[in-house]
Structure 1
Amino acid sequence: MCPKIQPRRRGLRIAAWSLVTVLLAAAGLVGVVLWQNSYAMDEQRVSIRNGGHTLNGVLATPKDGRKHHGLVVYVHGDGPVGATHDDGYKPMWEANAKAGYASLSWDKPGVAGAPGNWLDQSMDDRADEAVAAIAWARARPDIDGDRIGLWGASQAGWVLPKIAAKTPVSFVIAVSPAINWLQQGRYNLLSELRADNASAARTDAAIATSNARLRLLERRATFEEYVRAMGDDAKGMTADRWGFISKNFTADATQDLHALRGIPVLLTLAGHDINVDTADTERVYREVLDAGGALTVKRYPDASHSLLKQSIEQSERRTSLTALFSPRSLFADGFLDDQRQFLKAPGRAGQAALSVAEGVL
């Protein structure tokens, strides 16, 4: 009987050690995830009064032992964005913390239980919201009111200069900012069609649909009128979204950018941006701001509109795995460090970076 029992016991031992190995590997992976998603900063939930509403925010502060920090105020792009942008902001907040800066962000109205509806907002409403947050921050003893600046991406390009016109800011970091709403929309439409290898007939039809939508916007058509006029092409549009577009489709940052003259501005642009015409954005920023001598332009050839590495963003699976195991690696090479260096001395560092950028371009 013994010869029959021994192989079974040996098999059980092998299975047990295999299970132990798997559990140890799993524990190691969990440890890596926890370590990679731990950041060198402290975070606290805060409430900010904005008129009759409350902004639900997050304040991330450096762990440097100091009691007084500069502040980077985050202005979101389009969409229902929460305070941490699904933790996507945290690598940037950590870079800010290493430069001695706190970071402040909040849920858009209607997001994560916040009161209101972000689709009811104009760009001026969004600017007023940020001004209220800055006033709140200036009243805090742990924030240096003379070192408060802005960070904003994409749609925030229409909001950042409006904020600077309403309250003093020390610097601006503009990430893939748009200039003109309608021009950006057409650029995005054509870029997506090209990326999809669309036929000439499909391209012409898409342009015709876009033109018809613009005519409805120009005559301030109601959502019901829009649905009747567009038929099947109205699918995917909601009444709230139509209202949001109707409020903001005339947005153009060109004149508002004059409010940033003399303020250190870091303009970061992606090499693979299908949302924003980066050449036009850079041209306008240089025309309006270069005279003040405080503009820094940094280009990231391997980046997408969100300044993530295009090679990663193209794959949903790779994006998820990188976000889990190495979130700082999501961003284009140099993007986080460039922002940290800019914050250390926005004026002097900006001029040095600009000289380097001009030598490369």
Structure 2
Amino acid sequence: MCPKIRPGRRGLRIAVWSLVTALVVTAGLVGVALWQNSYDMDEQRVTIRHGGHTLNGVLAIPRDGRKHHGLVVYVHGDGPVDATHDDGYKPIWEANAKAGYASLSWDKPGVAGAPGNWFDQSMDDRANEAAAAIAWARARPDIDGDRIGLWGASQAGWVLPKIAAKTPVSFVIAVSPAINWLQQGRYNLLAELRADGASAARTKAEVAKSDTTLRLLERQATFEEYVKAMRGDADGMTADRWGFISKNYTADATQDLRALRGVPVLLTLAGHDINVDTADTERTYHKVLDAGGALTVKHYPDATHSLLKQSIEQSDLKITLTALFSPHSLFADGFLDSQRQFLKELGRGSHATPASSARVVHVHVYRPVHFDANADTWC
């Protein structure tokens, strides 16, 4: 005859098994997160000095047993970005590593304890900084100085060609780059207003406010004058940000892009980019580079400005969960593979290789699903 189990003991057993199950599930989820956020490359912190400045960087080296590797040098977009972009670069670095390339990136000045203030930089300052990093890399025995190229996103579109004018580069990967600062600003303003369903009256008021800001910039107004003109509503603008904009608002990459003629360029554009007019960017790159460059254009119709899947970027919860459990899945389908393939083809001579070459190669253009003529952007 089986002994009777008292109700209290039964409840205790249920509680214990529930706790054990929860611990097992939690351990499993932690294990999955750790596995998904482990990358097949070796990272090391590095320090780069130039002109009295110090760059705190990260160098990611492939684990392929080779003694020499090509190098992808990263040029950040806007904002306070650290060397790994909060680990967001790591899936891309791993793709580079699979193609036999190391990756080099650094904290922006004033970010993650780095000295300086990135708001104090002009686009030329940023280019000088990157050129110094390339010189540092060329002096390393584990880096192939003839296979050093650039990767840059968004604001980096104004920096990449300036770097190429200062030091030879073997290739450029440009992700959602802008052409003209003022045109981009107006495009972004109108795109966001459309996305918000703004009324005609609100749109008119915001455009007038933007025009006022431009007039203030043109006469080199102080931040205090800006705040006064905005009737005390700075709308998130700070003195540092105003100074940064004042230094750079005339930026235009059109003429600088000539430095990339003869250099293999992978231009990567998103279909849901409300920050950059990708149609204008593509037209300009073709106009400047087709005559003497090796231009490859890739469109990702379902991607946002950051090349994340739109379905994921629209939800903070999805971004967090995907970043934890499947970070490679954050990016648009094919984005990581296309960059890896681009780098591998460089080694096979599928593109014009030396930075000084003027050889014209076939241009592969991947057309988007739809072009909205009214919005003047890919969608």
- For the aligned pair, the TM-score class normalised by the smaller chain equals over 0.9
Q: Which residue of 2 aligns with 1:265?
A: 265
Structure 1: gaps of 5 or more residues:
none
- How far the C-alpha of 1:127 sits from its partner, in A, is 0.1
Note if contact 2:260-2:293 (Cα within 8 Å) is conserved in structure 1: no
The structure where helix makes up a greater share of residues is: 1
Note if contact 1:164-1:260 (Cα within 8 Å) is conserved in structure 2: yes
- How far the C-alpha of 1:10 sits from its partner, in A, is 2.5
2:364 to 343, 347, 355: 355
- How far the C-alpha of 1:22 sits from its partner, in A, is 1.0
- How far the C-alpha of 1:280 sits from its partner, in A, is 0.1
Aligned alpha-carbon RMSD (Å)? 1.8
SS of match in other structure, 1:299:
strand
Counterparts of residues 123-162 of structure 1 (less than 5 Å): 123-162=123-162
2:193 is equivalent to residue 198 of structure 1: no
- How far the C-alpha of 1:289 sits from its partner, in A, is 0.5
2:343 & 2:59 partners in 1: Cα distance? 17
SS of match in other structure, 2:6:
helix
Aligned residues: 360
Counterparts of residues 161-240 of structure 1 (less than 5 Å): 161-240=161-240
| Structure 2 CA distance for partners of 1:353 and 1:196, relative to 1, 3 Å | farther
Q: Which residue of 2 aligns with 1:42?
A: 42
Bigger mean CA deviation after superposition, 205-214 or 346-355: 346-355
Note if contact 1:209-1:233 (Cα within 8 Å) is conserved in structure 2: no
1:28 & 1:4 partners in 2: Cα distance? 36
SS of match in other structure, 2:60:
strand
Note if contact 1:56-1:107 (Cα within 8 Å) is conserved in structure 2: yes
2:15 & 2:233 partners in 1: Cα distance? 59
| Structure 2 CA distance for partners of 1:176 and 1:240, relative to 1, 3 Å | same
2:362 & 2:287 partners in 1: Cα distance? 18
2:123 & 2:365 partners in 1: Cα distance? 34
Note if contact 2:96-2:102 (Cα within 8 Å) is conserved in structure 1: yes
| Structure 2 CA distance for partners of 1:14 and 1:354, relative to 1, 3 Å | farther
What is the CA deviation profile of residues 254-310 of structure 1, one whole-angstrom value per residue up to 9, with x for unaligned ones?
000000001000000000000000000000000000112400000000000000001
What is the CA deviation profile of residues 42-101 of structure 1, one whole-angstrom value per residue up to 9, with x for unaligned ones?
000000002101100000000000010000000000000000000000000000000000
SS of match in other structure, 1:232:
coil
1:136 & 1:352 partners in 2: Cα distance? 31
- How far the C-alpha of 1:14 sits from its partner, in A, is 2.2
AA aligned opposite 1:180: N
Note if contact 2:57-2:83 (Cα within 8 Å) is conserved in structure 1: yes
SS of match in other structure, 1:292:
coil
Note if contact 2:307-2:332 (Cα within 8 Å) is conserved in structure 1: yes
SS of match in other structure, 2:303:
strand
1:85 & 1:221 partners in 2: Cα distance? 33
| Structure 2 CA distance for partners of 1:360 and 1:18, relative to 1, 3 Å | closer
TM-score normalised according to structure 1 size: 0.96
| Structure 2 CA distance for partners of 1:299 and 1:353, relative to 1, 3 Å | farther
SS of match in other structure, 2:232:
helix
Q: Which residue of 1 aligns with 2:321?
A: 321
- How far the C-alpha of 1:349 sits from its partner, in A, is 6.0
TM-score normalised according to structure 2 size: 0.92
Q: Which residue of 1 aligns with 2:376?
A: none
- How far the C-alpha of 1:355 sits from its partner, in A, is 3.2
- How far the C-alpha of 1:18 sits from its partner, in A, is 1.6
Note if contact 1:41-1:97 (Cα within 8 Å) is conserved in structure 2: yes
1:271 & 1:137 partners in 2: Cα distance? 35
Q: Which residue of 2 aligns with 1:100?
A: 100
1:53 & 1:295 partners in 2: Cα distance? 34
2:283 is equivalent to residue 283 of structure 1: yes
Structure 2: gaps of 5 or more residues:
353-359, 371-379
Note if contact 2:181-2:251 (Cα within 8 Å) is conserved in structure 1: yes
Note if contact 2:108-2:118 (Cα within 8 Å) is conserved in structure 1: yes
Note if contact 1:158-1:251 (Cα within 8 Å) is conserved in structure 2: yes
AA aligned opposite 1:243: G
Note if contact 2:47-2:56 (Cα within 8 Å) is conserved in structure 1: yes
- How far the C-alpha of 1:138 sits from its partner, in A, is 0.3
| Structure 2 CA distance for partners of 1:159 and 1:359, relative to 1, 3 Å | closer
Q: Which residue of 1 aligns with 2:355?
A: none
1:355 & 1:129 partners in 2: Cα distance? 32
1:198 & 1:235 partners in 2: Cα distance? 17
Q: Which residue of 2 aligns with 1:303?
A: 303
Moved over 3 A (4+): 2-5, 349-356, 358-361
Bigger mean CA deviation after superposition, 142-151 or 235-244: 235-244
AA aligned opposite 2:66: R
What is the CA deviation profile of residues 119-156 of structure 1, one whole-angstrom value per residue up to 9, with x for unaligned ones?
00000000000000000000000000000000000000
Note if contact 1:341-1:349 (Cα within 8 Å) is conserved in structure 2: no
- How far the C-alpha of 1:4 sits from its partner, in A, is 7.3
1:356 & 1:250 partners in 2: Cα distance? 30
